[in-house]
Structure 1
Amino acid sequence: MENLKFNDLKLNNDILKSIEDMGFEEPSKVQQEVIPVILEGSDVIGQAQTGTGKTLAFGAPIISNIDKSSNKIHGIILTPTRELAIQVNDELVRIGKYSNIKMLPVYGGQSIDRQIKAIKKNPDFIVGTPGRVLDLIRRRVLDLRYIDFLVLDEADEMLNMGFVEDIEQIIQSSNEERQTLLFSATMPPAIKKIAKKYMKQDTKHISIVKNEMTVSTVEQFYYEVRHNERFESLCRILDVDEPSSSIIFCKTKRGVDELVESMQSRGYNVEGMHGDMNQNQRLNTLRKFKEENIDFLVATDVAARGIDVENVSHVINYDLPQDTESYVHRIGRTGRANKKGVAYTLVTPREYKALKQIESTTKSRIKRKPIPSIDDIFNAKYDNIIKRVVETLESEEYTRFVPIVTELDEEYNLVDVGAALMHMIYDKEISHNYNENISTTPSNLRLFLSIGHLDKVKPKALVEFLTDYSDVDKNAIGDIDILDKFTFIDVRADAADTLIKKCSGRKLNGRKVNIEIANRSK
């Protein structure tokens, strides 16, 4: 199944066209295995980690299979948080771009009256959080008796957040003949119980096993970036590090083309490779990269297969890959023949959880680095220029220019002349006229804690609990939202790991507290 294409999965043409627009070249493992089973009509338990492409795995077949002649709600997708509901809804809209479907996200914190009006217009699919969905059912606004699909996305997280009773009530309110799809990273007893109770006997259990993978010769780092500053951040990184030979990975073909065009406009010596290029084009680009006629190769995962270049100093994940295996394959392009290599990954706050999953699966440490400032860029270029000047002085290859400098000495101070020449070199080598610093300070992450009002928890006590066990400064802890059964806390991104490792499993008010990254950002 290694080289399956989306065309091989029997999806309809409208879905295939949308996937083509999204730029994906081939399905991930979970998509390869899950899509055909859903298209056949079976219930599915999909056990796979975050970042493996689960939304496309269930979204493509259920949209492909709906009967548009029926004016009803075809399916409901339950997610643990409103941020994930929005994210899933947005991706389903992209998947259904040519299928003429109507999506509706429903969640707390938004006007329920507006959601009620939208439901009365008969959307095809609803993506929502359990609490809001149940509220709409109880108000007799949302009728699930005729749905074709029920999807539980990140089921283990929903149960951890105390939604088990809500989920059961929603399932009991839905069509018994529905097709049920349950996706979860883990399979605790509570999920097995729900699956046994509410899913068909011939349910297919598809587990995408993650092999333990290590990449010992590659130093791994990540930069946390804002989405609209991703390219600017990349340029700063390249201008500071000055990699001798680097492969930059994008998730889509369109992403490769856009990045190559943007980099070339800033003067970088770069070309791209992806699946729309013919074999001769790819071989020609790869030859130039191997012969060091280009400094940067921008590629998709598929196009990068078979690239065997020993002296790649850096691998840069401009986009996160679909799964952990792809990450390992990518960074394995550097650090070859027992040489040291460097891998950088650019992530937005929303992608942080997926990055931590990669770190856990590969059993490696991915360290955070701040985005270079303008001063960092200047100092890096200064050090490089000085090094080259010293090497030239020691080689005595400059002697034919001595008469010219002697003439300048008659009219100008030689220190000023040297500074002017360095300025000319600096301006030539800098990729962009950086006018202002982008944010280089740690942004916030949201943590989920399995304790709430019912456990008589107060904000002050929570802060003391976290700071006492972790030695994290209390200034790293931001907004605290205490709900009945659980709590959300905003913390500085650079403090999150320490808080999770040192405080999770400890007891507060006699209750053991589980702490993890929530699927939401500030």
Structure 2
Amino acid sequence: MTDENIDHPLQEQPEAPVPDDDLHPETTLGELPEVLRQACARAGWSELTPVQKKAIPHVLAGRDIMAQARTGSGKTGAFILPLLERIDPKKAECQALVLVPTRELARQVSEEASVLAGDTGLNVVPVYGGTGYQSQIDAFRQGAHLVVGTPGRILDHLLSRNLNLDHIRVLIFDEADRMLSVGFYPDMRELQRYLPRGGYAAFMFSATYPESVIRLGEEFLNKPIFLGLSGDQVHIAEIEHVYCVVPRMSRDRVLIRLLEMENPSSAIIFCNTKNNVEYVAAILKQYGFDAEDISSNLSQVQRERVLARIRGGKLRFLVATDVAGRGIDIPGLSHVFLYEAPEDPESYIHRAGRTGRAGATGRVITLVDIMEKIELGRIAARFNINMLERKTPEEEDVTAVLEDRITVMLENKRRTMTLAQKERTARFVPTIPRFAHNEDTSALLAILLDELYQQTMNVPPPKPEEKPAPKATAMSAETSTTESQPKKKRRRRKPKKDDQGDSSTGDV
């Protein structure tokens, strides 16, 4: 393979400037205000993590940021800690809103916020489905200074006028990539109608920044500064390299779990042989995935037809070999899966180069056995790639994610139902417990849920629509020094009687 055929992921990325102290100031624990140092002591922090050092000054200053930070990096503290300076506990009103993708994360963030807040009087309220509305409504009435919740349940309270965002000062998106993966974008757009004209700052934290997340940031943030926490420099774009150690006989099942966990809008799955390409494509189709293979068996006309489908967003998953996949350029491709380790180092670079283009981030996930792990380590060393090992997802991990997505789908459907439709479905509420406690009838319920879920396999999760290229992008150096300007007020939709919350159901 010649150099012209190799797409080095690092060569394709726009080179970001090294930050200086004025553009991207850092702080230390000792430099924080006294109230924040006391909060750190309550949490047992002896020092700040890199994301906290970089992000906290911007949150304190109210400058919109998009921060790239992975789970376990301390990002929750990066946006919660400075809120102690920005929220006035004497005012019984919602002053900060944190949107998260799952109920588990809502609990986790609210618990950490409560520890940091201590006895300052700051009232933290977690808001998510699976629990009754009334306790959340009571908390709002007592004065919820910081609300942490999933977009669906937050929207329910806004529609029912239980929650008011007129006095919000801080809006935070935590794990924005996962929120889009779960399918929360329509809820976030509807929620946007209830935000005030201006006077608040917005912050986004995400492990990856594919094009869809960048566009989401452009809709909610005003000229944000981009903070990449990869190494010692600020990077606008990055490819995340991940691998899972998997026995060969289990690769097809693990691949299916990864696709369901990641839920990418589109992806390429690379195999080493034509036989494996055909096998993987067949397995994915059997499980309901919208997938096609591209191999030497296809005529040029058939090949172009398949490529046109995936480029046009009408095909989610393409399975290919290195030879068949050479030259494929798919805009907005967020994921590349390697069903098996490549046979040579250059092939890995070629495969990885299919994602992370045009300033966006991407993720490459490789399935390897013990011996292939050693070879993958050599590839990482040769090209100076930071290769991260990821725990192989189990069935219970996938089940939790599927529950979240199905709940979001049903909640979205429920909000559009008429009063008569709600009354009609209410007839079956007493039936659910009886079905669920019987092995035979619970299997019947599983059939209904599977049919509902399978409808999503051919449709990618909703994401922000393409917009004309602005004169200055949100990531440009020119805009990164600009202070946040007041946002234009969006019309607020007046809730109708049919929109009132019902405690019989809940969202994620």
Q: TM-score range by the shorter chain?
A: 0.3 to 0.5
Which is strand-richer, 1 or 2? Answer: 1
**What's the TM-score, normalizing by structure 1?**
0.43
Higher relative contact order structure (alpha carbons within 8 Å, sequence separation ≥ 6)? 2
Structure with greater Cα Rg: 1
